[in-house]
Amino acid sequence: MRIVVAMSGGVDSSVAAAMLATAGHEVIGLSMQLYDQRANPDAFGSCCSLDDLYDARRVANALGIPHYIVNFESEFHDTVVKDFVSEYAAGRTPIPCVRCNSEVKFATLVERARGLDAVAVGTGHYARVAFDEDRRRYLLRRGVDAAKDQSYFLFSLTQEQLARAAFPVGGLTKPEVRAYARRLNLNTADKPDSHEICFVPDGDAGGFVERHLDGDDHTGPIVDSGGRVLGQHRGVHRLTVGQRKGLGLATGVPMYVLRLNPAAREVVVGSREELGGRTLEASSVNWIDGAPPAGSRRATARIRHRHQDAPAVVTPIGSNRASVEFDDPQIAITPGQAVVFYEGDDVLGGGWID
């Protein structure tokens, strides 16, 4: 069976390619060029760099599989970078990895795979795909390694994409993946994981957004929940709900960002107790089954990648919205982040917090 593997140059995708090749599949490695790094080699961090492309090619050579670099610069800029800038400017906190995974990597690679007569797209994600024979539907499940599980980033995958998805490392732990790579003497075996946003290598998301906005004044007041002015901020795009550091306030007690009002260029702050919330609404909801459940459903819901999912009632609103009511208050429910619904290890769906 011919399978295209997205090779990022990291150990996870390297082992994914190796596992599929060892299983007897005809593997073709594809690496994505997301940015013209010849013009600005320092634009990307430790993910998606030229060194990563070279590492992917070395792994492909070691495995004896063909390797190609595909240019996704236009798709990445239009789908991921523009959304990142516009969301921050609107007072929301985006997750570019979700859009990159579903709308760039999977959507585009599935099309490339068809052109290569490949039946599936493999990646190094820590997630699993299964097929429910009774319901004739594909399931998206958490990866076995709870510390590395990436199912949260894949909530928007469709049934068509899941039918063509292969996640070989989803059944392994990270130490097992590295051990597998060492046994094959792959050059990526001990390569550190990447954590920062690839196109914001210095970690200054606010500065990146500002460079892509107009030169107007973005400053405004910082107020408490009663409207009392406490200070000034440099732009709502530099702050996020739940943030405490960097506010420049001398109130004597810790203050956290409660809300961002970009139209008024206003930042509302308050105590940690005021950050708690039990309800949210989400838009652009994708249900893994392909359709929403008939009514409200008990589930667990995760409001950030590093957040523990919590018991809740999820209620569909039409075909692509949902409300979530948690049993207990959740700290810093943040517009722009994803909320993902789980039933045990199975992903039910997810959407974008409004």
85 φ, ψ to 5°?
-65, -50
The candidate with the shortest Cα–Cα distance to 246, out of 232, 262, 260, is: 232
Q: Where are the beta strands (DSSP E) in the chain?
A: 2-6, 26-33, 67-71, 120-122, 127-132, 137-142, 165-166, 220-224, 229-233, 256-261, 266-270, 276-287, 297-302, 310-317, 321-331, 338-343, 346-353
Task: Give dist(CA 21, CA 333) in Å, integer.
Answer: 42
- Residue 285 dihedral angles phi and psi, to the nearest 5°: -75, 130
Catalytic (active-site) positions? 100, 198
Burial (0-12, 13-18, 19+ Cβ within 10 Å), 13: buried
DSSP letter (8 states) at residue 304: S
Closest CA to 11 of 155, 178, 152, 134: 178
